[in-house]
Amino acid sequence: MNYSPAKRSTVIIEAPKADLNGLPSRYVHPGELDILIYLIRSAEARTVVEFGCNSGRTAAAILRNVDSVERYVGVDVRPGYSFACKVQAREVPAVPGELAIGDKRFELLLRDRGTFDLTPDDLPSCDVVFIDADHSRPAVLNDRKLAKAIVRPGGLVVYHDDNGLEVVDVSLALDGLADEGAEIVHIAGTWLAFERM
């Protein structure tokens, strides 16, 4: 959790505790959902898109804690998808979106290859995109390209698993984007990073 990228700036964000009662904590570190919810509130988000919604835990937390959200689109893969990063081999959800599916604001998009099977026309214009899907470099770059096409000016793209670990390519991809001029900021003490469009 002490990762600090050499090529990008790092900020500290103190976020108030969110209501996460009853939600699983797998794949998230203490305080990360609080910070993600804080960022989404700061963007006054009405529409949120999540790449890699898994069980829908993050969607459920955001829908519970951010009153401004009117629409939430979760994207995931169908069973049989093979992640490039072996550490993700067991991350294809048995029931995608199950924790948020009961909320009328939540929509689920399932594709055989996840976001690789989508174009910007398949997604709504939005205020925030949360990228937490396939953690290979090609997937992160594809997801950012999609996000840039649908996030309104002033909106946010938030990345998960910016941890510097070699088992995933997220930090490598974000460092490469920073070399090309992208202003992607790491959040200290988390595996989160964000970029304002």
Domain boundaries, the chain: 28-186+192-196
Strand partners, 9: none
Cα–Cα distance for residue pair 134/114, rounded to 1 Å: 8
Rounded mean pLDDT, 39-54: 97
pLDDT level of residue 2 (50, 70, 90 thresholds): confident
Residue in the structure block whose two tokens are 């840039």: 148
Q: What pLDDT does residue 82 have?
A: 74
For 155, the enclosing helix (H) or strand (E) is strand 151-160
pLDDT higher than threshold 70 for residue 34: yes
55 with 97: CB under 8 angstroms?
A: yes
pLDDT higher than threshold 90 for residue 89: no
Residue range 28-186+192-196, CATH number = 3.40.50.150
Q: What percent of the chain has pLDDT over 70?
A: 97
Question: 156: buried, middle or exposed (CB in 10 Å: 19+, 13-18, 0-12)?
Answer: buried
pLDDT higher than threshold 70 for residue 70: yes
Rounded mean pLDDT, 175-197: 97
pLDDT level of residue 85 (50, 70, 90 thresholds): low
pLDDT level of residue 88 (50, 70, 90 thresholds): confident
pTM for this entry: 0.95
Closest CA to 130 of 108, 172, 159: 159
pLDDT higher than threshold 70 for residue 126: yes
